[in-house]
Structure 1
Amino acid sequence: MTVNINIQEAKVAFSELLNRVSRGEEITITQDGVAIARLVPVNQNPVKRIPGSAKGLITISPDFDAPLPDDILASFEG
C-alpha cells in the first residue's frame, strides 16, 4: 500500500518515514497535490541477471538500420 504525504509533513517526519519504508511501506511525497517523489525499500536480494537468457527470443531485421521511407521521415520534420 502506498501512502501519500505532502512535502511539508515529509520534512518534519523524514526519519519516521524512513523507518516505515524500511519495514516495506511505500511513501509518495506530494507538493500541491502532485506526486514528486517516491520512497521505496531497497531490494537487498535483487534477482541475478543471466547474460544470454533471451537468446533466440529476439530477432533483428537485416535492414534495421536502413534509411526510413520518405513519408515516415517527413512526419518527423516540422
Structure 2
Amino acid sequence: MIEVNLKEAESRLAELIEEAAEGEDVIITRSDGISFKIVVLPQEKPRPKFGSAKGLVEMSDDFDEPLEDFEALSNSDN
C-alpha cells in the first residue's frame, strides 16, 4: 500500500495512477486528515445495439421447409 500526502500526490499523480492500475492500493491524505483512495473503475463492455446486424443475415426462401432427410425417416416409421 502506498500512502502519500496531497502535496506529494500532486507531483506524482501519473506514477500513483500507474501503481493503482497495477493493483496497488494508493491512499492520499489531506492536511486535515481526510484520506482518499485511488481505485481503478472497471471498463464497461460495449453492448450490442438492437438492429445493428440488419442486412448482414440472409435466410433462404425455403428455410422453414421440411428437410428431405427427415421426410425419409418419418415415412419409414409408419
Give the number of the structure whose alpha-carbon radius of gyration is greater: 2
